Amino acid sequence: MKILSAAQLKEADAISLKKQNITSEELMERAATKVFQEIHRRLQGAQIPLKIFCGIGNNGGDGLAIARMLLEKNYRVQVFIVNYSDKRSEDFLANYEKIKEVTNNWPELIKKEEDFPQIRKGDFIIDAIFGIGLNRPLEGWVGRLVQYINACGAFVLAVDMPSGLFSDKIPAKQDAVINANFTLTFQTPKLVFFLPQTMDYVGDLQVLDIGLDQSFLAEVSTDTHITTKEEARQLYIPRKKNSHKGNYGHMITIGGSYGKIGSILLSTTAALRTGAGLCTVFIPKCGYEIMQTGLPEAMVITDNNYEMLTNIKTDFDADAVCFGMGAGKSEETVKAFKALLENTKKPMLIDADGLNILSENNDMLELVPENSVLTPHPKELERLIGKWKDDYQKMKMVQDFCRAYKLIVVLKGAYTFIFDGESKYINTTGNPGMATAGSGDVLSGVIAALLCQRYKPVAAARLGVFLHGLAGDVYAAKHSYEALISGDLVENIGQAYMKLFVTGEDNK
C-alpha cells in the first residue's frame, strides 16, 4: 500500500474525473456515501445526537453530503457551518443547496465563539472542517472551537483527516488539532497518521476506497509504503521439501553479560523459531549453563571471560551475525566488537549495546558491513544520529544516515519504520502489549534468522517486523495486552507465519 502526498492525491482526483467522465461533485457524493455507510453500519439507526461541523471547502462539502444522507435515514442531525471565510468551494455550495431539500432546519452558522453549540458527552461529533489541503495553523475562534470540541468528551469521527493536521508537517499549535476517536480516510492513509508526534490525533483508522483511478495508483511513484499482509506474503520464501538444515543457514548470536543472559536467550530462541537452520551462541562463561539448559537446540561457545565479552572467536563462517543484546559497553567488549566488524563481510543485525557502542565510537560505523540492519528505539537512534526538531526532520536524518553508511535502519515504535536510504516502509502489526522488556531482543533474532535464510536485508527487515508484530497480535487477542511478555512473542511466531496465509482477514 502506497502513502501518497496531498499533491499526488489531488492529481489522482483529477485523473479519475477525466477517465471516469464524472464531476467533482459526483466524486464527492461517492466519498460521502462511503462514510455514511460506515456510520450507518455501526449506529444502525440509533437515535443519538449527531453534530456535524463542516468547513466551507471540499471537506465541508463531504460533511454536508454525509449529513444529508443521515437525515434521509431519520438520524438526529444538527449541522454547523464553521464560517471562517467568505470563500466557498463550488462543491460545498452544491451540497449546501441539496441539504436544504431534506431538512427544515438549515445549517447553523458559527462565526464567533458565542455561536458555539452545546456539546454533551453522549453526542456523536463528525469533524468535516478542514481536510488534507490545510496549510496554516488554526487560530482565533476556529482554534478555540477545536479546543472546545476536544474538551467536551463526546465521540469524534474525523472525515479524511482530523482538522488541524497538515499532510506534510507537524502542527505548531498542537492544542488546535481535533483529537479524533476514529478517522475515516479516503483511498490511502496519510504519512502523518503514523508519526509519533501526530498519530494520537487520528484514533482508530479505516481507509475507504472511493474508486480513484487504479492505473494511476499503481503507477505513481512514492518513497513511502505500508507493509500489508499481501506484501508480507509475497516477501516470504517457501521451503522446498527436499532440503536440510544447511539450506537455512548457520547464524551466530553474540552478546550477553553477567545478569543479562536472558536477552541473548530470547534472541536465539526467536531465531530458531523463525527458521534459522542452525544457531550458535557466543556468550561470556557465566551464561553457559543457562543457555545449554534453556535452549538445547543451540550450540554454545563461551568467551574466556566469565562476565563479559572480550575476545570473539569462532571456527566457522556464519551466514548471519546478530550482535549486541545484553553485551554491555566495557572497554574489552568495545575492542571485541571492533575486531568482529573488521572480520565480518556479510550483513549483520546490530541492536542494543551494539548500537550504543557505535554511537560512542563513530569511527566504527565505517566498519559496519554494507546492508547491515540496525534496530534502534528512538533514544538509541538519537544517540546514533543526533537530536531532531520533529518527526519529519528525524526521517530525513535517518535516510541521510542510511545513505552515508549504506545501512538499513529499523526504527522501533508503535508504528515501526524501516529505512534503506531511498524508501521507507511502515509496519502496522503489533500492539501496546509489546511495550515490554525483551520485545526488541526477540525482533533482533527474527530479522537475523531471515538474513541467515538468505532473504535480502530490506525484505528480512520488513517481513521480520511484520511477523514480530503479528505474533504479538495473536497472543494479545487471546490473553490481553497486559499479560504479554516477550517470551510469548517467541511462542507465537509459528502462528504468525500461519496467519500470513489466512484469507478473509484484514491486512494485519
Per residue in 13-62, pLDDT (tens digit) is 999 999 999 999 999 999 999 999 999 999 999 999 999 999 999 999 99
Q: How many domains does the chain have?
A: 2
**Whole-number Å distance between alpha carbons of 485 and 480:** 11
pLDDT band at residue 135, thresholds of 50, 70 and 90?
confident
What percentage of residues in the chain have a pLDDT greater than 70? 99
Is 507 inside a domain boundary?
no
Q: Is the pLDDT of residue 508 over 70?
A: no
Can you give the pLDDT at residue 174? 84
Contact 295, 325 (CB under 8 A): no
From 222, 251, 276, give the residue that closes a domain: 222
350: part of which helix (H) or strand (E)? strand 348-350
Same domain, 189 and 325: no
Same domain flag for 120 and 238:
no
Per-residue burial over 341-378, b = 16 or more CB atoms within 10 Å of its CB, e = otherwise: beebebbbbbbbbbbbbbbeeeebbebbbebbbbbbbe
Q: Is the pLDDT of residue 498 over 70?
A: yes
Both 308 and 332 in one domain: the answer is yes
Last residue of one domain, picked from the residues 159, 191, 222: 222
Tell me the pairing of strands 224-227 and 204-208: unpaired
Question: Which of 182, 205, 222 finishes a domain?
Answer: 222
Note whether 192 and 339 are same-domain residues: no
Task: Convert the pLDDT of each residue in 70-116 to its tens digit.
Answer: 999 999 999 999 999 889 999 999 999 999 888 777 899 999 999 99
Nearest to 472 by CA among 495, 449, 451: 495
Q: Quick one: 318 and 346 in the same domain?
A: yes
Mean pLDDT value across the chain: 96
Check whether residue 110 and residue 169 sit in a common domain.
Answer: yes
Q: Are residues 197 and 265 in the same domain?
A: no
Residues 280 and 325 in one domain: yes
Q: What distance in Å separates the CA atoms of residue 130 and residue 383, rounded to the nearest whole number?
A: 38
How large is the average pLDDT for residues 472-489?
98
pLDDT band at 505 (very low <50, low <70, confident <90, very high): low
Q: How far apart are CA 262 and CA 280, in angstroms?
A: 15
Q: How confident is the model at residue 142 (pLDDT cuts 50, 70, 90)?
A: very high
Instruction: Please report whether residue 392 resides in a domain.
Output: yes
Q: Are residues 256 and 123 in the same domain?
A: no
Q: Does residue 504 lie within any of the structural domains?
A: no
Task: Name the residue range of residue 202's domain.
Answer: 6-222
The enclosing H or E element of 457 equals: helix 457-479
Rounded to an integer, the average pLDDT of 475-496 is 98
At residue 504 the predicted structure's pLDDT band, cuts being 50, 70 and 90, is low
DSSP 381-399: HHHHH---SSHHHHHHHHH
- For the record, the C-alpha cell of 143 comes out as 482554534
Question: Residue 42's domain is classified under what CATH number?
Answer: 3.40.50.10260
In degrees, rounded to 5, the angle at the alpha carbon of residue 274 between the alpha carbons of residues 272 and 276 is: 50
> Can you read off the three cell numbers belonging to residue 131?
481536510
DSSP labels, 15-59: HHHHHHT--HHHHHHHHHHHHHHHHHHHHTT----EEEEE-SSHH
Whether residues 167 and 287 share a domain: the answer is: no
Q: 83 with 201, same domain?
A: yes
Contact between 202 and 158 under an 8 Å Cβ cutoff? The reply is yes
Which among 350, 297, 295 is positioned nearest to 325, based on CA atoms? 350
pTM of the shown model = 0.94
- Give residue-wise pLDDT tens across range 433-478: 999 999 999 999 999 999 999 999 999 999 999 999 999 999 999 9
Classify residue 506: in a domain, yes or no: no
Domain presence at residue 156: yes
Domain assignment present for residue 469? The answer is yes
CATH code, 412: 3.40.1190.20
Q: Do 193 and 273 lie in a common domain?
A: no
